[in-house]
Chains A and B, each alone.
Chain A
């Protein structure tokens, strides 16, 4: 379970709040989509939730553990897929997986089994001995996803996970999300791909200019907007409305 309460963050070099009084709760067994235009505050929120950034106000709790008070306890319960797969280019894929597994204290048999399972699913098993620097963007993304699942986290947080994935891998990723939610685990992901959010999410939040402008199910969004269009048209309408209000 993920609880964000009144999160606000202003970057040191900016006068504008990147995230303003943001509150979201994601329950166990839920797939939660986090939508918003570029620069809306999605990645800042995810960084606050994963302990990468310290918010100016508010709290983030993972399975009831406050990430500021007990960062290690909270982080152990998260599997995080960052939006920047350009990490550790000099390491080999297997070395990177070993590093992550060691940090999360995953025993040898479990890490071998999960690596074999997910790397095979994403089609990178034969490339585990290669340097990450030689990987394509999509392969790096697949490796990040594999690494994030090595410790079988209760809460899976993904920042723009579909970027760069081929259709087969995107399908596999969505299947894993569904399987995990069905097993009572939490999935929280940000995306620009409306079709994915529409088909996959139990609930979603839309953020614009650092503020949440909607949280609920797709049906609730439709009834709120009084329209029966696609998520894409509802999203654009809602974002435009808030742009006009703030102007």
Chain B
């Protein structure tokens, strides 16, 4: 196998934390099969969920454009989106994986050509970009295909375009990053680039939210709205028309069976191949050089007197439980990937909701459904809405559902300390519950403010939210104690690639949905709602909490590191 292929395989396995091949003759255990089935189910669920979202978005857009007889613009919109999404996500991914870990230094010491090193990294990042781009193109092809019944070549060109469009976007990302990281030494630090990447991700997430909200109903005049956002005078259309690859993809898909389509495809192929080839040819050397000295540590040293004063000031006795909770805070909040995907959600979600409110304000206020919501609030259901929003926020940080996995490297040492396993894990719960309180307060408080609820109702909403989120956090911790992800190279795997986090999130959404449905179906008053969804979860929380230390003790003893 060539060095480039070997490296590509190595990077792909490392990026996506893929398991290695089983030893010859080794049989999969029942647990392995169950895990695989569970993961497959989750993948289907997530893909189905996102697919539904993208398809509905395309359907809304198509219906609006069709009214103005501009349905062909849907394809240009798809080509632009299949470029823009990979551009931003690719920029973040290529930045966060620019220097993966100290493995890169070992690779630099080997007789590997910089071009092979860079190209392999490019391929590994491209896998995600291609999947995202293809996903968006397929969602568009489904709608356009059903509505317009195009020539079969339409699907072939669409698929190829989906695979090609991310290439220039990714090449552009590296075209910016390689010179930037070559000259800006302060950026050549894993932690710094994770923070920068995270901030870019947040800005993008908010931007995409604005775009998405504007695409979705309720809408008084779908044709006007569609024309505004994807019509021939729209920003999307102008971007597409001034960006040749999107234009070629559009032309190819709009004229699939003609020579125009074939010519456009050829142009697309050339246009998409040029960028990566040029970057690999001219910048591979600079890329390899920029890896040298990456993550160099600079220790801030104290003076002799300063060190004595520092010891006297900073080394003070504290209570073991408090010190353990503090450790949880520090270990999570100082790892950018953990902070941005965990505690920061409590800030992020209200921000997204705020954007939804601001962007959709006019439509929301004019929408007949909103009048119904207002009537529900006035009819005493404000507590339900506030409680469920607060509970969702309070349980959305993934702190508890990844708590044991995040500590995988430290477990042997922790187990050697004279602390009860139960106490150690309860410190983790304490950490999650602090954010549970904050999240519940923000979620319930925001709804109470927006719906102009009374102080008493807001308080009841908060209490129910706290009860539900505490139960969900404990359930998440229980889940990660029962089945933690203990083997990983990159901390991202313990959080973002941890199925427990996804299961906890889906469970939380399911519980919220179920609780809301039951509350409305049985027209539960505030008292009954507080009893069933506040007091009962509180009792369940207490019962689970009483049983947890024993379970945790046994489970932790069985973890072999």
Contacts and interface: CB of A to CB of B under 8 A. Distances in A.
Interface in B303-347: 303-304, 306-308, 310-312, 314-320, 323-324, 326-327, 330-331, 334-335
Nearest to A125: B307
B450 to A, nearest CB: 37
Interface string A6-34: 00000110000000000000000000000
A75 B417 CA distance: 6
A66 B259 CA distance: 83
A98 B335 contact: no
B494 to A, nearest CB: 13
A107 B311 CA distance: 13
B315 A112 contact: yes
A115 B419 contact: no
A47 interface: yes
A186 interface: no
A128 B310 contact: yes
Contacts of A53: 560
Interface stretch (A79-87, A166-174, A187-195, A227-235): A79-87
Interface in B387-438: 409-410, 412-413, 415-420
Interface stretch (A129-137, A197-205, A209-217, A238-246): A129-137
B21 interface: no
Interface in A98-136: 98-108, 111-112, 115-116, 119, 125-130, 133-136
Contacts of A222: none
Contact of B330 (A91, A111, A116): A91
Most B C-beta atoms less than 10 A away, residue of A50, A51, A90, A94: A90
B302 interface: yes
Given A115-B315, A125-B307, A99 B413 contact: no
A89 B217 CA distance: 48
B419 A103 contact: yes
Contact of A98 (B315, B419, B420, B558): B315
A70 to B, nearest CB: 10
Contacts of B418: 71-73, 75-76, 103-104
Contacts of B301: 126-127, 130
A102 B416 contact: no
A111 B330 CA distance: 21
A128 B307 contact: yes
Contacts of A76: 418
B485 to A, nearest CB: 16
Interface stretch (B292-300, B369-377, B516-524): B292-300
Nearest to A68: B557
A103 B327 CA distance: 12
B561 A94 contact: no
B300 A47 contact: no
A97 B307 CA distance: 14
Interface string A31-61: 0000000000000000100111110000000
Most B C-beta atoms less than 10 A away, residue of A72, A88, A104, A119: A88
Contact of A102 (B299, B320, B334, B561): B320
A98 B315 CA distance: 6
Contact of A95 (B297, B311, B330, B557): B330
A129 B315 contact: no
Contacts of B331: 88, 90-91
A2 interface: no
B330 A90 contact: yes
Nearest to A130: B299
A206 interface: no
Interface in A150-197: none
A78 interface: yes
Nearest to B307: A125
Q: How large is the interface on B (under 10, 10 to 19, 20 to 34, 35 or more residues)?
A: 35 or more
A94 B412 contact: no
B303 A84 contact: no
B297 to A, nearest CB: 4
Contacts of B420: 72
Most A C-beta atoms less than 10 A away, residue of B318, B319, B416, B560: B416
B412 A47 contact: yes
Contact of A126 (B302, B335, B416, B557): B302
B320 A129 contact: no
Given A94-B311, A102-B317, A126-B307, A72 B299 contact: no
A101 B308 CA distance: 18
A102 B320 CA distance: 5
Interface in B525-561: 557-558, 560-561
A243 B419 CA distance: 41
Contact of A78 (B302, B324, B416): B416
A107 B316 CA distance: 8
Nearest to A105: B320
A122 to B, nearest CB: 13
Nearest to B327: A99
B308 A116 contact: yes
Contacts of A126: 301-304, 306-307
Contact of B412 (A11, A84, A88, A91): A84
B297 A116 contact: no
A88 B418 CA distance: 18
B311 A112 contact: yes
A136 B331 CA distance: 19
Most B C-beta atoms less than 10 A away, residue of A78, A97, A103, A105: A103
B302 A98 contact: no
Given A90-B331, A134-B298, A50 B416 contact: yes
13 contacts: A50-B416, A84-B412, A90-B330, A91-B330, A94-B311, A104-B417, A108-B315, A116-B308, A127-B302, A128-B310, A129-B302, A130-B301, A133-B297
Given A98-B318, A99-B324, 13 more contacts: A52-B416, A88-B410, A98-B314, A103-B320, A103-B323, A105-B320, A108-B316, A108-B317, A125-B302, A127-B302, A128-B314, A129-B302, A134-B299
